[in-house]
Amino acid sequence: MTIEDLAPAAAASEAALAAGTADAYDLGIAALARGLAGREGEAEDLFNKAVALQPDDPSPLVFLAIWRREQGQLRDSALACDRAIALAPGYADAWLERGATLAAGGSAAAARASFEQAARLAPHSARAHAGIASIAAREGDRLAANEHARTALGIEPGNAVARNALASLALEDGRADDVPGLLDPVVATLPASVERSQARSLLGQAATRAGSIEAAYEHFRHANEDYVTLTARAAAGSINQYDFIAAIDAGLAAALPAWGPPLPPRIIAAAAPRHVFLLGYPRSGTTLLENVLASLPGVEALEERPTFAELDSVLLSGDAGAVSRGVQAFALWGEDRLAGAARGYWQHVHNAGISTSAETFLDMDPLKGTRLPFIARMFPDARVIVLRRDPRDVVWSCFRTNFAVTSNTLEFTSLERVARHYDALMRLTDRALQNLPIAALEVDYQRLVREFDTVTHEICAFTGLEWSENLRRFDRTAQERGVGTASATQVRRGLYDGSGQWRPFAEYFEPIMPILAPWIARFGSGD
């Protein structure tokens, strides 16, 4: 949502405020408009007044939820939606915003259920049908995606979410020529928005398939420019992720001479008997391998969740200096504090839906190399799998992928930023694996997809899992579990080798080759 979307309603609400006749709805609209305009203090004040004025009115709570989502405060947004729904279960707008919030947080199944409820309550809501279509397209539910997208466009012909859903279906079907007709109007008419950024990314994919390399690069570049615009406010005043990783690396380097021993073997009631971390870098194959291993009985996997959130808030918050000092302080923690932190970790895991009776827990997060210092001391019996892939494919895939908005994905908005971020994480990962007592196995993406049975046997032997032909059915597992990462479409396609996609764009890599060269020598495809 932009300030332009709200302009007419906001003007009327501001007039009511000036006249002293504003109700809770007016206050909520004015609060949201002022927040989007950067007047955050005024927005918070008006939201408080709106809720206090008419505590039984759900509308200001929905506006508050939109504002919290715009701020990146997804939990608070969902709570505001739930409060509105508790007041008025039949209020479709509350279900719509709940769907949008949950979708932004990667909870696709719950988001779809919320959009479906909104569509039941308001059958002529284009937003509700478009929301269903977007998630269904991502999940591979082609019939529902097409039906709801067409319904949305019948109500609102310019609906960008529905057009993006149809464009993604067209790309999956090999109909790249259909994409410009669907999305050129979106790019031409919308201001910077999530929808326009996604449309530009899809146009880039279509141009790539048509062999229009320069046009494709420009579409991806513009998609990322929109992304930067959208995240600028949320990112302001926070440490960027490159500096965050560098600070952890500096803290680890300083702490190594006094690094404390790992937590002695002990039984933590909530701990899974077998514990595996799967990391590497986004677009390196972690989602693929997660679904492969989750195909085995007794394996429960969690996808990119902040399982160390409690420790993060204590040790890894603030500026670079504070983060570095936090790592150094952790190096000196005693057994009791480590055990308490481990219990907190498992509490987050089970709160996220992992059964307390799980035989094997797989914590998949490609960026969790930043937490290797924690893993080494808290979970000495855990197994760590590190996915490796040609850095050029990884960097290109991150640059061209339309990710959900997070603090990390801002680093993927230019080739240089991705390369520097990748380099920082690889250096930190190397330092941790070379100096800390971590049981780690490096897995090459190309070997995994080309020698699947051989490599998965090696992984099972390393983790203590029993190999089964079920591993080959990971595409079904992904369909059943749902995939919340940007790799959803690829994993549903089954096993294929996506190597070399950077090659048509090689000229754009020339400025960053000095950054990537050491890693290409180690992880590159060799051609």
What is the rounded distance in angstroms from the CA atom of residue 308 to the CA atom of residue 302? 13
Tokens at 87, concatenated:
């007041």
What is the rounded distance in angstroms from the CA atom of residue 68 to the CA atom of residue 491? 32
Contact (Cβ atoms closer than 8 angstroms) between residue 270 and residue 352: no
> 380: domain CATH number?
3.40.50.300
Over residues 191-200, mean pLDDT: 92
Contacts 24+ apart (CB under 8 A), 20-23: 23/53, 23/54, 23/57
Amino acid 51 reads V
Same domain, 65 and 109: yes
For the stretch 63-74, pLDDT in tens is: 999 988 887 788
Same domain, 184 and 61: yes
What pLDDT, on the 0 to 100 scale, is given for residue 3?
A: 46
Which H helix or E strand runs over 309?
A: helix 309-315
Same domain, 85 and 62: yes
Contact (Cβ atoms closer than 8 angstroms) between residue 302 and residue 362: yes
Same domain, 198 and 297: no
Contact (Cβ atoms closer than 8 angstroms) between residue 100 and residue 131: yes
SS3 332: coil
Band (513; pLDDT cuts 50, 70, 90): very high
SS3 438: coil
What is the rounded distance in angstroms from the CA atom of residue 146 to the CA atom of residue 130? 10
Which H helix or E strand runs over 443?
A: strand 439-444
Same domain, 350 and 308: yes
Among 235, 265, 286, the domain-final residue is 235
For the chain, the 3-state helix, strand and coil shares in percent, each to the nearest 5, are 65, 5, 25
Strand partners, 487: none
Over residues 456-468, mean pLDDT: 95
Over residues 451-466, mean pLDDT: 95
How many C-alpha atoms does 456 have within 13 Å on its Cβ side? Answer: 24
Contact (Cβ atoms closer than 8 angstroms) between residue 396 and residue 335: no
Sheet holding 439-444, edge to edge: 299-303, 360-364, 274-279, 383-388, 439-444
What is the rounded distance in angstroms from the CA atom of residue 394 to the CA atom of residue 141? 28
For residue 253, CA distances in Å to 240, 241, 246 come to 20, 18, 10
Amino acid 300 reads E
Per-residue pLDDT at 91 exceeds 60: yes
Which residue shows structure tokens 């008006």? 46
What is the rounded distance in angstroms from the CA atom of residue 452 to the CA atom of residue 445? 10
What is the rounded distance in angstroms from the CA atom of residue 396 to the CA atom of residue 415? 7
By the 10 Å C-beta count (0-12 exposed, 13-18 middle, 19+ buried), 41 is classed as exposed
Same domain, 158 and 249: no
Among 235, 264, 283, the domain-final residue is 235
Band (260; pLDDT cuts 50, 70, 90): very high
SS3 301: strand
Among 235, 253, 271, the domain-final residue is 235
What is the rounded distance in angstroms from the CA atom of residue 253 to the CA atom of residue 363? 25
Tokens at 497, concatenated:
């080798």
> 195: domain CATH number?
1.25.40.10
Same domain, 166 and 201: yes
Which residue shows structure tokens 């409820």? 117
With 0.85 as the threshold, say if the pTM is over it: yes
Phi, psi dihedral angles at 256 (to 5 degrees): -55, -40
Same domain, 260 and 198: no
Strand 274-279 and strand 383-388: the pairing is: parallel
For residue 255, CA distances in Å to 202, 260, 268, 409 come to 45, 9, 27, 28
CA-based max dimension of the chain? 75
Q: End-to-end CA distance of the chain, in Å?
A: 46
What pLDDT, on the 0 to 100 scale, is given for residue 487?
A: 47
Same domain, 196 and 279: no
For the stretch 312-367, pLDDT in tens is: 999 999 999 999 999 999 999 999 999 999 999 999 999 888 998 899 999 999 99
Contact (Cβ atoms closer than 8 angstroms) between residue 153 and residue 159: yes
Instruction: Please state, for a pLDDT cut of 70, what percent of the chain lies above it.
Output: 93
Contact (Cβ atoms closer than 8 angstroms) between residue 443 and residue 457: no
Contact (Cβ atoms closer than 8 angstroms) between residue 26 and residue 10: no
Instruction: Please tell me which of 283-292, 366-375, 464-473 the model is most confident about, judged by mean pLDDT.
Output: 366-375
Per-residue pLDDT at 461 exceeds 60: yes
Per-residue pLDDT at 484 exceeds 50: no
272: domain range?
241-523
DSSP 354-369: --TT-SEEEEE-TTGG
How many structural domains compose the chain? 2
Same domain, 226 and 262: no
Same domain, 222 and 95: yes
Same domain, 268 and 228: no
Per-residue pLDDT at 482 exceeds 70: no
